[in-house]
A and B are shown apart, each in its own frame.
Chain A
Amino acid sequence: MRAVDAIMHCLKAEGVDVVFGYPGGANLPTYDALYDAGIKHILVRHEAGGGHAAEGYAKASGKVGVCFATSGPGATNIITPLTDAMMDSVPVVFFTGQVRTDLLGTDGFQEADTFGMTMPSVKHSFMIQHPSEIPRAVHEAFHIARTGRPGPVLVDMPTDLTRVEIDYEPVTDVRLPGYQPTTDGNQKQIRLAAKALANARRPVLYAGGGVVNSGASQPLRDLAASERFPVTCTLMGLGAFPAPHEQWLGMLGMHGTRAANYAMDEADLIVACGARFDDRITGKLSEFAPRAKFIHIDIDPAEISKNVPAHIPIVGDAHNILARLVEEYAKLDTDPARLTDWWERIERWRAQHPLRYDDSADSEIKPQRLIEALYEATGGDAIVCSDVGQHQMWAAQYFHFTEPRKWINSGGLGTMGFGLPAALGAQMACPDQLVVCMSGDGSIQMNIQELATIRENDLPVKIVLMNNGFLGMVRQWQELFWERRYSAVDTGQWPDFLKLAEAYGIAGHRLTEKVTLVADLRAILTAEGPAFVDVRVTKEENTYPMIAPGGAARDMVG
């Protein structure tokens, strides 16, 4: 069979049920093979949308997402989702067409050095040099994408090589001598960690996206329950621990709660799990958690002691390690009363500094109120795919996630335009769940074309637009740190989102009234089919609280 037909066999063997992509000259053979391969294909309207959709699918399902793109411009368009997937450890395999081998390096039509350009942004990549390599490369790509610290893998395929007849033998093994991720945590280290926890008087569990990726939400909850340990999650970890919970401190970091950030500041022991001490978490590194010792659990050894030196490093899979840490801890004779003072202190912060905002005196909808209303209208039962900006932070603060894989957003790269395609990917992964795309009037326009994909495939994605007519987060920084010199942040009146939604065949709604907000949203969210809700909110509202850039947790403002 042709190499491209072998690819379809491999995809099926990997359990792929949907591919997001866009055809072009250099991947015509792939699309020909796809024609009757029995694999569902979603034709996106821009390759960036395809990449983010594959990410959304992967994040919602825990499976590997797949994206097809052609050579040249198709390939350069996937660089953003590829980098996004690298930063947030999302398993996605990208297949790009490439010009035929005799044109390579000659500036052939639609030629770009995809392999070279993507190299710093991939977990691994394959440049196919012989057609018979293709089946093995496909399986190894999936293996690398999904195991260890997940990430994007690219397979670049010169078009002539994909058309060659090969002897296809199913591949059942991988040969990757240089790739052997450690998954089992070291028993001695786990025992040490349990002892450190047993002695800690001011411990905090700090969980990141790695807990979600490894499906370690349950052992995290078990560990927290071992001794009423306080828990905070990063932006990427939200949902790993139930937000409405007595031990939940809220999110930490730049726009985290005071309780979470102050607890980190005063902690004597921090258990970091699947988290990487990003600069949006630590603020000023030299003043970050100055009294704490660190247990750092991560599957990626390169994260250990990268930003913050770990006293007890444990390399391995979070599920494996947390479950064993719970067992080890249970064997110890511990004194629950040692945490009493700590909880008193935390309770005081919680009481003094809850998340708050001043509601409007009139009918104006405050952006925070919109998120609260969305939470009420859905009862929290939704997959929320967010774009990037103020709305993202407010959603993280005011929508309380109780389960992992319900909060899908672009954290590390902060990619505006992520939300809408990610929502369509998540809806493909979870057809029976309510998927809400929470976006802003800036972000939504960066991949607005995917409204067509949503309509064409009858995906009931509900788009809730927090419309303040500004690039809000940049405006906030200009207000706070650049003397209110508003430079290029006013997005004006256009487009008319209702007409735009109508043009795409999607029901549009405009909400401006606070009192009926929850009821209006509920009616829209329960209606069939996709919907686009343009919600007009306060124009100049700031996201608080906030650790100023380069500041310390102690100096939170707002």
Chain B
Amino acid sequence: MSRMGDPGTNELLSLEDLQATTGFRTGRKHILSILVENKPGVLTRVAGLFARRGFNIDTLVVGPTDDPALSRITLTLDGAMHPIDQVTKQLHKLVNVIKIRDLEPEDTIARELAIFKISVDGTQRAEVMQFVDIFDGRIIDVTKRSIVVELAADADRVKAFEKLVRPFGLIEMAQTGEIALARGRGET
């Protein structure tokens, strides 16, 4: 670390050294549920803290809660380069942040919404529709040569469905990030 720590000496840095100390993604996936005041700039402040510490945000969803003064940000990080508690402590310092939870994936119900536009001709249509059925999806638009499917599920399930229908000709898809609540009676 020392040779990385300071620009003040003329020791030559190798790219390998540099890569050894940065850029690693370790640790588990994090789902952070952040309750914030519904005020301008809050999202930028939250996102900025992650950027500053070099975290890459995988998904991010912001929406209202039952209290119009509050919004919930649900944010996922797929593995972190540093321990995440430094960032959560910094998040707590933001004046507009009310509450943060680093949700344990196994104690969490998480859902994302995806819509898929799939190219289908007559013979394939039935097969795709079967998959839609198995995945509890819904067909929300049909044309002669395509269908649009809506799927609300956890991230793994959405990914699995995508893999299945891709060979048929996935024209395009849109997907939200995860929204999540803790299991059980208690508040998230």
Q: List 26 A-B contacts (CB under 8 A).
A: A116-B41, A116-B44, A120-B48, A124-B94, A127-B41, A129-B40, A144-B95, A178-B94, A178-B96, A178-B97, A178-B98, A286-B1, A300-B93, A301-B89, A301-B92, A302-B86, A302-B92, A304-B89, A482-B10, A548-B9, A549-B5, A549-B8, A550-B2, A550-B3, A550-B5, A550-B6
Contact B37 A125 (CB under 8 A): no
Question: Cβ of A482: which chain B residues have Cβ within 8 Å of it?
Answer: 9-10
On chain A, the number of residues with a Cβ less than 8 Å from chain B's Cβ atoms is 31
Q: Is the CB of B45 closer than 8 A to any CB of chain A? A: yes
Taking the closest CB of chain B, its distance from the CB of A440, in whole angstroms, is 19
Instruction: Select which of B9, B44, B45, B98 is within 8 A of A549 by beta carbon.
Output: B9
Q: Is the CB of B52 closer than 8 A to any CB of chain A? A: yes
Question: Cβ of B96: which chain A residues have Cβ within 8 Å of it?
Answer: 178
What 7 A-B pairs have minimum CB-CB distances, sorted nearest first? A550-B2, A549-B6, A302-B89, A549-B8, A481-B9, A124-B95, A179-B95
Q: How far is the CA of A483 from the CA of B3 in the complex (A)?
A: 18
Q: Is the CB of B90 closer than 8 A to any CB of chain A? A: yes
Q: How far is the CA of A306 from the CA of B93 in the complex (A)?
A: 14
Question: Cβ of B9: which chain A residues have Cβ within 8 Å of it?
Answer: 481-482, 548-550
Contact A119 B5 (CB under 8 A): no
Question: Cβ of B97: which chain A residues have Cβ within 8 Å of it?
Answer: 178
B100-140 CB contacts (< 8 Å) to partner A: none
Q: Is the CB of A163 closer than 8 A to any CB of chain B? A: no
Contact B41 A119 (CB under 8 A): yes
Question: Cβ of B1: which chain A residues have Cβ within 8 Å of it?
Answer: 284-286
For A518-558 the 0/1 string (1 means CB < 8 A from B) is 00000000000000000000000000000011110000000
A117-176 CB contacts (< 8 Å) to partner B: 119-120, 123-125, 127, 129, 144, 176
Which A residue sits closest to B85, measured CB to CB?
A: A305
Which B residue sits closest to A285, measured CB to CB?
A: B1
Question: Cβ of B86: which chain A residues have Cβ within 8 Å of it?
Answer: 302, 306
Assess A481 versus B10: contact at CB under 8 Å? Given A279-B5, A306-B86.
yes
Contact B41 A178 (CB under 8 A): no
Q: Is the CB of A504 closer than 8 A to any CB of chain B? A: no
Which B residue sits closest to A144, measured CB to CB?
A: B95
B32-47 CB contacts (< 8 Å) to partner A: 36-37, 40-41, 44-45
Q: Is the CB of A177 closer than 8 A to any CB of chain B? A: yes
Q: How far is the CA of A300 from the CA of B93 in the complex (A)?
A: 8
Instruction: Select which of A176, A306, A483, A551 is within 8 A of B95 by beta carbon.
Output: A176
Q: How far is the CA of A548 from the CA of B36 in the complex (A)?
A: 44
Q: Is the CB of A477 closer than 8 A to any CB of chain B? A: yes
For B1-30 the 0/1 string (1 means CB < 8 A from A) is 111011011100000000000000000000
Residues on B close to A: CB < 8 A?
Answer: 1-3, 5-6, 8-10, 36-37, 40-41, 44-45, 48, 52, 86, 89-90, 92-98
Q: How far is the CA of A302 from the CA of B2 in the complex (A)?
A: 23
Assess A120 versus B8: contact at CB under 8 Å? Given A177-B98, A285-B1.
no
Residues on A close to B: CB < 8 A?
Answer: 115-116, 119-120, 123-125, 127, 129, 144, 176-179, 279, 284-286, 300-302, 304, 306, 477, 481-483, 548-551
Give the interface centre of B9, B48, B95 by most chain A CB atoms within 10 Å: B95
Instruction: Select which of B6, B10, B48, B92 is within 8 A of A119 by beta carbon.
Output: B48
Besides A120-B48, A179-B95, 6 other CB < 8 A contacts? A119-B44, A119-B45, A144-B95, A286-B2, A549-B8, A550-B5
Taking the closest CB of chain B, its distance from the CB of A402, in whole angstroms, is 33
Q: How far is the CA of A551 from the CA of B2 in the complex (A)?
A: 7
Question: Cβ of B10: which chain A residues have Cβ within 8 Å of it?
Answer: 481-483
Question: Cβ of B40: which chain A residues have Cβ within 8 Å of it?
Answer: 127, 129
Instruction: Select which of A115, A123, A477 is within 8 A of B41 by beta carbon.
Output: A115
Question: Cβ of B41: which chain A residues have Cβ within 8 Å of it?
Answer: 115-116, 119, 125, 127
Taking the closest CB of chain B, its distance from the CB of A252, in whole angstroms, is 18
Which A residue sits closest to B69, measured CB to CB?
A: A177
Question: Cβ of A550: which chain B residues have Cβ within 8 Å of it?
Answer: 2-3, 5-6, 9
Which A residue sits closest to B42, measured CB to CB?
A: A178
Which A residue sits closest to B45, measured CB to CB?
A: A119
Question: Cβ of B93: which chain A residues have Cβ within 8 Å of it?
Answer: 300, 302
Q: How far is the CA of A286 from the CA of B6 in the complex (A)?
A: 15
Which B residue sits closest to A153, measured CB to CB?
A: B95
Which B residue sits closest to A280, measured CB to CB?
A: B6
Q: How far is the CA of A482 from the CA of B8 in the complex (A)?
A: 9
Question: Cβ of B3: which chain A residues have Cβ within 8 Å of it?
Answer: 550
Which B residue sits closest to A149, measured CB to CB?
A: B93
Question: Cβ of A176: which chain B residues have Cβ within 8 Å of it?
Answer: 95
Q: How far is the CA of A489 from the CA of B182 in the complex (A)?
A: 59
Taking the closest CB of chain A, its distance from the CB of B145, in whole angstroms, is 42
Contact B48 A177 (CB under 8 A): no
Which A residue sits closest to B52, measured CB to CB?
A: A120
Which A residue sits closest to B2, measured CB to CB?
A: A550
Taking the closest CB of chain A, its distance from the CB of B185, in whole angstroms, is 23
Taking the closest CB of chain A, its distance from the CB of B13, in whole angstroms, is 12
Q: How far is the CA of A179 from the CA of B94 in the complex (A)?
A: 8
Instruction: Select which of A127, A177, A302 is within 8 A of B37 by beta carbon.
Output: A177
Which B residue sits closest to A300, measured CB to CB?
A: B93
